[in-house]
């Protein structure tokens, strides 16, 4: 299984899934805040961060099955499942096919915009999004990307572009918070609104003055938005 890091303790369990080319470290600051409310399990997906590449590349659907088995083995209750970027696709697959595992779902910067589903367009949008970002975002992102095998990255990018998030949204039963950075060029408002509208029990919010990598720049307001969503729905275990 993928490499994991656990912080905090308590009645609630959060499972954090990062995006392509990244690792569990992108959630580090957010996890520090969430750890005040429960146990936080941050995952390095196979082939990313500090996790080794498995023998063969897996589709996002296959990766979701591996993660579902991990959640079943490592937790004794339903979890709050949080995904960022490509991690939203994997999280949505788990919530769709294994609803018994997911108490609530958080999709941050859901990918991939169906109107721009090519590698070239996604790369261009990411470059646009990074313009003006501070050194923390740029250096951490570069460090994580350098850990990833180019071949593994290309394989995962292919599966990421082939995956149709919009096709499974209607099957997600868990209460869902959909978040978008206000200035996110990778995930435009109309696309994220489409995803939020397609999930039966969801709500959407925008993160002020944040782009696609909103969780790296600072833990707030993302961490508080997640906790407030859970409290407002009566879902946060004490």
Q: What dihedral do alpha carbons 97, 178, 161, 216 form, nearest 10°?
A: -120
pLDDT digits (tens, 9 = 90+) for 93-115: 999 999 999 999 999 999 999 99
Q: What is the predicted pLDDT for the residue at 54?
A: 65
Hey, which residues does 108 pair with through a beta bridge? 84, 179
State yes or no: pLDDT of 136 exceeds 70: no
The Cα–Cα gap between 24 and 28 comes to 7
pLDDT digits (tens, 9 = 90+) for 156-172: 788 888 999 999 999 99
Higher pLDDT, 28 or 143: 28
The Cα–Cα gap between 34 and 36 comes to 5
Q: What is the predicted pLDDT for the residue at 129?
A: 60
Enter the pTM of the model: 0.91
Q: CATH classification of 3-232, choosing from 3.40.50.1820, 3.40.50.460, 3.40.50.740, 1.10.3720.10?
A: 3.40.50.1820
State yes or no: pLDDT of 144 exceeds 80: no
pLDDT digits (tens, 9 = 90+) for 17-67: 998 877 788 898 899 999 999 999 999 887 776 666 665 668 899 999 999
Helices (H), 84-118: 86-97
pLDDT digits (tens, 9 = 90+) for 65-74: 999 999 999 8
Q: What is the predicted pLDDT for the residue at 52?
A: 60
Q: What is the mean pLDDT of residues 185-208?
A: 96
The Cα–Cα gap between 113 and 164 comes to 9
The Cα–Cα gap between 13 and 153 comes to 29
Q: What is the predicted pLDDT for the residue at 5?
A: 83
Q: Which of 38, 34, 42 is nearest to 16 (CA)?
A: 42
In the chain, where are the structural domains located?
3-232
Q: What is the predicted pLDDT for the residue at 50?
A: 63
Q: What is the predicted pLDDT for the residue at 134?
A: 55
The Cα–Cα gap between 134 and 215 comes to 13
Question: What is the residue whose two structure tokens read 């508080």?
Answer: 224
The Cα–Cα gap between 34 and 57 comes to 32
CA angle 232, 237, 238 (to 5 degrees): 105
Say how many C-beta atoms besides its own lie within 10 A of residue 115's C-beta: 10
């Amino acid at each position: 299984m993928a490499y994991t890091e656990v912080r905090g303790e308590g009645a609630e369990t959060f499972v954090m899934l990062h995006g392509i080319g990244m690792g569990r470290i992108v959630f580090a600051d957010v996890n520090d805040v969430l750890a005040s409310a429960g146990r936080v399990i941050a995952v390095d997906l196979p082939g990313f961060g500090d996790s080794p590449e498995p023998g063969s590349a897996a589709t996002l659907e296959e990766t979701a099955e591996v993660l579902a088995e991990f959640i079943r083995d490592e937790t004794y209750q339903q979890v709050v499942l949080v995904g960022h970027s490509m991690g939203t696709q994997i999280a949505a697959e788990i919530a769709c096919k294994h609803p018994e595992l997911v108490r609530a779902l958080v999709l941050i910067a859901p990918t991939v915009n169906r109107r721009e589903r090519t590698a070239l367009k996604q790369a261009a949008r990411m470059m646009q999004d990074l313009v003006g970002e501070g050194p923390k975002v740029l250096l951490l992102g570069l460090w994580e990307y350098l850990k990833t095998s180019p071949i593994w990255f290309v394989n995962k990018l292919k599966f990421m572009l082939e995956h149709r998030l919009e096709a499974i949204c209607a099957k997600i039963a868990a209460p869902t918070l959909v978040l978008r950075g206000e200035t996110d060029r990778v995930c435009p408002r109309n696309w994220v609104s489409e995803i939020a509208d397609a999930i039966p029990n969801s709500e959407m919010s925008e993160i002020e003055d944040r782009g696609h990598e909103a969780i790296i720049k600072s833990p707030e307001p993302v961490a508080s938005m997640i906790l407030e969503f859970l409290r407002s729905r009566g879902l946060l275990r004490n």
